Amino acid sequence: MVVGTEADVQYAISGDARLAFRVRAGGPHVIVRVSAWVSNQDLEILESQDRGLLHQRMSSFATIVSYDHRGTGLSDPVSLADLPTLEGWTDDLRAVVTAAGLERVVLLADALGGPVATLYAATYPARTRALILINSFAAIARSEDYEAGLTSEEYERFVEGVEDVWGSGRFLRATMSDVPIDDAQLRDLARIERQSMSPAVVGAILRGLYATDVRAVLPAVSAPTLVLHTVENPIISIENGRYLAQHIPNARLVELPGADNAVFLGSAVGATVVDEIEEFLTGTRVAAEHARMLTTLLFTDVVGSTDRAAAIGDQAWRTLLDRHDEVVRRQLGRFSGHQEKLTGDGLLATFDGPARAIRCGTAIRDAARQIGLDVRVGIHTGEVERRGTELAGIAVHLACRVCATAQPGEVLVSRTVVDLVAGSGTTFDDRGEHKLKGIPAPWQLFAVTN
């Protein structure tokens, strides 16, 4: 195996193209990432966002090889008329595996990279140890026997939408809708898009892939296969993942909560994805560094922030947000809350008791009104897992959804919170059951009234 330092970028030759790749030495399982074309091996920000999950966690049990497809990132550019077919993309993958000196590898592919990895696994079974497909598909085009796909009109609207926003960060933002993103993080996502490929290239690649259909080769995949898919995925529906699992022999399907398509860019399910991969490859999950605990989570969000910013201008809006942040910090100090992260126009905080979280939530709402802002607040108590500085677990996702459901000026809590503060004197209005996006069962929610 060819292994360089962390900063080394190497090149494989496939036909007349040179493909940039990196090998990051780690555990005994060799994973080759087949990305969805959005990559750049020299893009430091891309590494920093998924490093905690993909590189630090996975390095304990795997060596990771990543590469840029031709026409993207640091690989050779290609004319729009000469973009490879699916077979050509698969030849490129083989060239990287060969150049890295690898024999049998685990293929980890997400979204558009899935068909490439699937075709490789079926074509080169002796060189494929396992196949992992994340939010991927067997075909794009809808047909009578594949209703999970898209019509040509639907797909063209999607591609045109991607071209229109490419380079602004808004496409990647849409692939991680459950992840709170602030302005600085959005600019980072914009850099990832721009330094991966141009709008013309992304449009050409996407249009060229519409005819992709690997359904016929699925039965020929003999490698053990893990299919991971988010159940509320708005870009590649869960039916695509179910189809893969049903038609690849002995494949295992894990349905993940939430709507995120890009699970390695800060998604709440990213940690679960790594756990599933670790167990799939090693037979065990090593969670010694993860602290599980019961905590109360509080999300806030400023209502109508976009319209307000447009009305008063960027500088005035930034000043107002700074005042908002100071108000929030003051209230967190009063009620012993811990700020976990800012979420653009709001925040996530944790408390060691739900009653304190409720009092803090109402205090934040009231203080924000005094400076001319309206906020919504969502509170839930549940078990979370701390991974370094990040919180993970379904409870985080649920609390975020509770906040999104709250009306302007409302402090909305889950049934769990109500039960835990019984006898505290806090009163609530029953807001009924709600189907929260990405949460399997309905949840009864209550608004704080005092």
pLDDT means per 10 residues, the chain with 450 residues, are 59 93 90 90 55 65 92 90 88 95 94 94 94 96 92 93 92 80 79 90 90 91 95 93 95 91 76 89 66 84 83 84 88 90 83 90 93 92 77 86 93 92 87 83 90
β-pairing, 62-67 vs 17-24, is: antiparallel
Q: What is the pLDDT of residue 47?
A: 44
Classify burial at 156, counting beta carbons within 10 Å of its beta carbon; exposed 0-12, middle 13-18, buried 19 or more. Answer: middle
Give the residue range(s) of CATH 3.30.70.1230 domains in the chain: 291-448
Distance CA 242, CA 251 (A): 10
Domain with CATH 3.40.50.1820 in the chain: 10-282
Q: Find the helix or strand (DSSP H, E) in which 141 lies.
A: none
| pTM (global) more than 0.85 | no
Burial class (CB in 10 A: 0-12, 13-18, 19+), 309: middle
Domain 10-282 of CATH type 3.40.50.1820? yes
Contact by Cβ (8 Å): 278, 284: yes
What φ, ψ does residue 278 adopt, rounded to 5°? Answer: -60, -45
The pLDDT, as a whole number, for residue 321 is 85
- What pLDDT, on the 0 to 100 scale, is given for residue 39? 87
* Amino acid making up residue 173: R
Sign (positive or negative) of CA dihedral 23, 24, 29, 35? negative
Q: What is the DSSP letter of 56?
A: I
Q: What is the CATH number of domain 291-448?
A: 3.30.70.1230
Q: Which tokens sit at 354? A: 């739900």
Largest distance between two CA atoms of the chain: 74
Q: Cα–Cα distance between 78 and 93 in angstroms, integer?
A: 16
Partners of 41 in the β-ladder = none
Instruction: Please answer whether residues 222 and 178 qualify as being in contact, where contact means their C-beta atoms are separated by less than 8 angstroms.
Output: no
Backbone φ and ψ for 436, nearest 5 degrees, come out as: -90, 135
